[in-house]
Structure 1
Amino acid sequence: MIISRQVTAYHHARFKAAAQEFGRVDILSLANQGKFAEILSQQSEEGYTLQRLFPDMDSYRRAAAEGAVASEVTCQLDRLNPDVVAIAGWASAESYSALIWAIKRARGVVILSDSQAHDAKRNKVRDLIKGRIVRLCGAGLVAGRTHRDYLVKLGLPAERIRLGYDAVDNAHFAGGALTARKSEPECRARLNLPENYILASARFIPKKNLTSLLTGYARARQGLVAAPDLLIAGDGEQRLVLEAAARSLGIPGHVHLPGFFRYEDMPAVYGLSQGFVHVSLSEQWGLVVNEAAACGLPMILSRECGAASELLHEDRNGWSVEAENVDGLAVALRAMMSLSKEQRAEMGAISKSIVADWGPERFARELAHVASLAEASRNGRISLVDRVIIRLLSRKVIETVA
């Protein structure tokens, strides 16, 4: 069984692949609501069974505070009686409840994680508590090498950890991008896309570093006769800030903020762009990077972005920059703007080749591997200290995890 806060389009692709790998997978989803509705999966289960416990985040928060999440999760686990439980991280009522259930019944536990040591300022006490929770798990499936290093630091042996947690439906994005390129004029008109643009895709919040992106873009286009525009797909609390920044930089006519696109339309938005840029100040992974790579784009990524260490090969399919180095970002953007059509295609092909090994099939294959490790190392004991810690934490709702 896999326990997940919500089921997005990303989760659907992974769960579908897992069902093909295992034959049967049960999914327990706690709240059918995400930070933005566009990524919630609208597809029906394919090969996996899905049980949703609460209709939205408000219901989930109330249930967690009242201790009802624990009872609901326990009830479902008793009903389905899985051999192995995969929990998403160490900071949710459902993960704690499933962990207690599995240990009491000597079942295997896999922890799913995309946290890195440098994602946030670390607190020794918190990391000690995380370590106690992590060491109760039999194995881990993480995003990449930096995520594995953090799990090892917390106490899980490296040989019990596999990579490949953060995957998207590569075929959906690659196929959609190809289709859009074959019908480019009609697709641009339908989606109201500029003729030439570099793409970013993010929520408009401070950690996404979009004001620095605008500054770097303004510097990069200086002196160029026909520089591509900048299109930032998304929305959020900083929209007015970004609009004001574009005006103050003298580039309002070259910056497009169209809002969120539907999941079905995003492959075309990627596919018709000249490149992709994602320079967050902090990013555990960045699934938009997988999407851009699957669509065959050259990329500029901040080194703080977790996906950069796996999906970006310096100077081959893009460039990495320090998130707060606006001059460095401007240089990278200028290099991207200067690529010929043939160079963009060559770099994009390398991106596709790299991300091909980081798709849902890898997620499923590695999940099967760590599930067997967890099943072989079942832990039927939990200390009183750990039990008290988990009981105290299980009524808290933590929506930002690092």
Structure 2
Amino acid sequence: MTNPGRQPTIGLIWTQFSAYHVDRLEAVGRRLAGRARVLSVEVASKSATYAWDPSGDVAGTEKKRLFPGESHEAIPIWRRFRTELKVLRQCDVIFVGVPYSEPDIIALSYILRMLGKRVVMMTASKFDDFQRQASREYFKRLLLTPYSAAIVGGRRQFEYVRFLGFSNRTVLPGYNTVSMERVRQQAQDGGSEPAFDERSFVFVGRFVEKKNIERMFEAYARYVHAAPQRAKRLNMIGDGPLRAAIDAQCARLGIMHMVDFPGFLPAAKVSAQLARSLALVLVSEEEQWGLVINEALAVGLPILASAEVGAREALVRNLENGIVVEAGAIEGMARGFARIGDDEGEWRAMSEASTARGWHADTERFADAVELMVFPGAEPAATDNARFAAEILIDPSRVACV
């Protein structure tokens, strides 16, 4: 994979760094310290999609921000490609988290492969994200030809990448992870935790159609009106284009007095709010993964999730650390609210199960996958990755095709 006696250089590139990306990069930096040079490559400081705070240093790695102060979408494609290639051609292995459909990334993957580099795709996509077209899927297989391997989130992501032509290429789970240590420390810094009766359900995310917020509120209203004296509040962390429609719906359903809207919050405040909550609610119609579930496990929150959420197989065990429903099952969601919110004993059992599930959600699983791509067979990464694969129902013998 690399020349004996020479320390390899690896690069990990994303469009923009959030706290999640920094978590993963720092885990890789710790894991490969003294064995590899790690470049953290951030294309731009901001984007039109996410209003994340600018990232700072990334411990254990050499951070390279290619276009400081600029928005990714405003940078010409050719300029992006030229700058990305200049930095990444010095690497032996390149891990690509920018969408593979971006024109500069298409060209970059082919050129880097021609230069003898190993290019690894990182993705959370799964087949059921939306309606797929056969011709488009065939074209994707051609776009992905230069990639030597892939790191994916869980079982559905694994099967989709295999479908896209990776049947004889290494595919490892562990991509969608968050630092359990960071979230827990931020939660502790946020103050003491309230009693069961003082906690609220919590939603964290953008107010957009795919989050299925309209049905979620229909279900929450049924729960509130069925037992108004016992009903727990709902905390809606985030904002977005549906905010006005959400306000109108809350007023129509008679639940405005039960719902709080603190707006978008920085990562540290989200961690603190999660630690003071009753359960996380994420019942999206479309959700590639849902990293807020990882954060919720860090502080032991039960999860009310839809089956469509990509993190479901890896992080949510139905009736163990949460409840899984279909995105269209309004009555099922209402019963989920009641089951978690009305029984403190069951809530505590689910909370303990969520804490135990945190091993699967932690950035160490991502570091396992990256380490194995650079140093195949390394222990204990190989054992831990095989355990992770087996526990999310991926046959470990299928993850490491050389």
Give TM class, smaller chain: 0.7 to 0.9
1:69 maps to what in 2?
Answer: 80
1:5 to 15, 18, 23: 15
- Say which SS state the counterpart of residue 18 (structure 1) adopts: helix
2:329 to 325, 347, 353: 325
2:177 maps to what in 1?
Answer: 167
- State how far apart, in whole Å, the 1-side matches of 2:244 and 2:261 are: 11
C-alpha deviation, 1:59, in angstroms? 5.8
Greater Cα shift, 163-172 or 91-100: 91-100
Write the letter of the residue equivalent to 1:205.
V
| Structure 1 residues 291 and 285: alpha-carbon distance in aligned structure 2, compared to 1, 3 A threshold | same
1:70-89 equivalence runs, <5 A: 70-78=81-89, 81-88=90-97, 89=99
C-alpha deviation, 1:159, in angstroms? 6.1
Contact kept? 2:88, 2:94, Cα under 8 Å: no
Contact kept? 1:141, 1:370, Cα under 8 Å: no
1:232 maps to what in 2?
Answer: 236
Write the letter of the residue equivalent to 2:365.
R
1:264-283 equivalence runs, <5 A: 264-283=268-287
C-alpha deviation, 1:215, in angstroms? 0.7
1:111 to 106, 111, 121: 121
Higher relative contact order (CA 8 A, sep 6+): 1
Greater Cα shift, 329-338 or 297-306: 329-338
1:302 maps to what in 2?
Answer: 306
1:257 maps to what in 2?
Answer: 261
C-alpha deviation, 1:100, in angstroms? 2.2
Question: Which TM-score applies when normalising by structure 2?
Answer: 0.84
- State how far apart, in whole Å, the 1-side matches of 2:317 and 2:117 are: 40
Contact kept? 1:109, 1:371, Cα under 8 Å: no
| Structure 1 residues 41 and 13: alpha-carbon distance in aligned structure 2, compared to 1, 3 A threshold | farther
Write the letter of the residue equivalent to 2:162.
V
2:64 to 48, 51, 61: 51
- Alignment RMSD: 2.0
| Structure 1 residues 327 and 57: alpha-carbon distance in aligned structure 2, compared to 1, 3 A threshold | farther
C-alpha deviation, 1:181, in angstroms? 5.8
1:120 maps to what in 2?
Answer: 130
Deviations 1:154-206 (A, max 9, x none): 01026611101011111122233345463659xxxxxxxx9431111110111
Aligned-residue sequence identity (percent) comes to 27
C-alpha deviation, 1:26, in angstroms? 0.5
C-alpha deviation, 1:58, in angstroms? 4.3
2:223 to 216, 220, 225: 220
Write the letter of the residue equivalent to 1:147.
Q
1:361 maps to what in 2?
Answer: 364
2:350 maps to what in 1?
Answer: 347
| Structure 1 residues 40 and 166: alpha-carbon distance in aligned structure 2, compared to 1, 3 A threshold | farther
1:91-240 equivalence runs, <5 A: 91-157=101-167, 160-180=170-190, 182=192, 184=194, 195-224=198-227, 225-240=229-244
2:341 maps to what in 1?
Answer: 337
| Structure 1 residues 183 and 335: alpha-carbon distance in aligned structure 2, compared to 1, 3 A threshold | closer
Write the letter of the residue equivalent to 1:222.
H
Write the letter of the residue equivalent to 1:360.
T
2:373 maps to what in 1?
Answer: 370
- State how far apart, in whole Å, the 1-side matches of 2:284 and 2:50 are: 18
Uncovered stretches (5+) of structure 2, i.e. residues with no partner: 1-10, 377-402
| Structure 1 residues 101 and 21: alpha-carbon distance in aligned structure 2, compared to 1, 3 A threshold | farther
C-alpha deviation, 1:270, in angstroms? 0.6
Write the letter of the residue equivalent to 1:46.
A
Deviations 1:326-363 (A, max 9, x none): 111111111111121x4322211211211223311110
- Say which SS state the counterpart of residue 182 (structure 1) adopts: coil
- State how far apart, in whole Å, the 2-side matches of 1:177 and 1:75 are: 40
| Structure 1 residues 103 and 183: alpha-carbon distance in aligned structure 2, compared to 1, 3 A threshold | closer
- Say which SS state the counterpart of residue 43 (structure 1) adopts: coil
1:393 maps to what in 2?
Answer: none
| Structure 1 residues 122 and 250: alpha-carbon distance in aligned structure 2, compared to 1, 3 A threshold | same
| Structure 1 residues 167 and 158: alpha-carbon distance in aligned structure 2, compared to 1, 3 A threshold | farther
| Structure 1 residues 365 and 238: alpha-carbon distance in aligned structure 2, compared to 1, 3 A threshold | same
Contact kept? 2:230, 2:342, Cα under 8 Å: no
- Say which SS state the counterpart of residue 110 (structure 1) adopts: strand
C-alpha deviation, 1:62, in angstroms? 3.8
Contact kept? 1:293, 1:351, Cα under 8 Å: yes
- State how far apart, in whole Å, the 1-side matches of 2:96 and 2:50 are: 22
2:291 to 276, 287, 294: 287
- Say which SS state the counterpart of residue 116 (structure 2) adopts: coil
